[in-house]
Structure 1
C-alpha cells in the first residue's frame, strides 16, 4: 500500500458510496485507475466490504433497535454460529467480543413479539445458550 491507497481508504471510510470518478478527482487519479486500486485492495483483503451505518434516531423505518449479548452452547463453534446467524433477517451487525459474552448482536425488530421471535430463533437455530437484551432508547450524537 502506498500513500494513494491510504488516501483512498480514508475517503472510503468517510463515504463508501462515493463514485470512482469523484474519488479519483479527490486523489488525483482517473476513475479507471481509482477503480483498479479499490478492486486490488478488495482482492488483497485490505477492504473487506462496504457498510452503511445508520443513526437509530435518524432512521424513519420505526421499530426497536436492540443489542443482544449472546453466549454460545459448548457444542457450537464460532464458525457454525456465524454461518447460521448470517441467514437470519433483522440482524444488522454481529461482533465477536471479549468478556462475559461471546457475541454482541445488533438488530432491528418491529415490536416486542418480533423480538421474542428473534430470540427464540437465535436459541433454536444458531446454538445460543444464553442471551441478554438491551433496547436503544435514543442515539447520543457526540463529537
Structure 2
C-alpha cells in the first residue's frame, strides 16, 4: 500500500460508485491505472467489496480504530447477530472467535461519542450482552 492506494481507498469509501475515469482524475492517474490499482487491492484482500474496507488501518483519515470483544445474549443466534451487525455503520470486520467472547469486531468511529453510539446500538440492535472495547493507538507497518 502506498499513498495513492490510501487515497483511492478514501475516495471509494466516500463514493464506491465513482467511475475509474473520475477516480483517476482525482488521484492523478489514467482510468486504466486507477482500475488496475483497485483490481490489485481486491485480489490482495484490502478491498472486500465496494462498501467495506477490510483493513481500516490503511485509511489514514481521522477517526478511531477500535476492537470490540462481544458476548451475545443467550437468546441471540450467531446468524441473527451477523446479519444485524453488518448493517451497523463503521463495522469493518466481524470474526467469530474462541475464548471468553463470541466475536471480535473491528470498527471505525469518528470520535468517542460516535463510538458510544455504536456500542449502544450493538446492545440494542444486534443482541450483545457484554462488550469490551480497545482503541488502536498506532499500527506498526
Task: Give TM class, smaller chain.
Answer: 0.5 to 0.7
Aligned length: 97
Larger radius of gyration: 1
Shift of 1:82: 0.4
For residues 59-97 of structure 1, the C-alpha deviation after alignment (integer angstroms, 9 at most, x for no partner) is 222100000000000000000000111111110000000
Shift of 1:54: 3.5
2:55 maps to which residue? 54
Structure 1, unpaired ranges of 5+: 1-14, 24-49
Alignment RMSD (CA, Å): 2.2
Structure 2, unpaired ranges of 5+: 1-36
Structure 2: how far apart are the matches of 1:115 and 1:55? Answer: 15
TM-score, reference length from structure 1: 0.62
Shift of 1:16: 7.5
1:130 maps to which residue? 130
* Native 8 Å contact 2:69 2:102 kept in 1: yes
TM-score, reference length from structure 2: 0.63
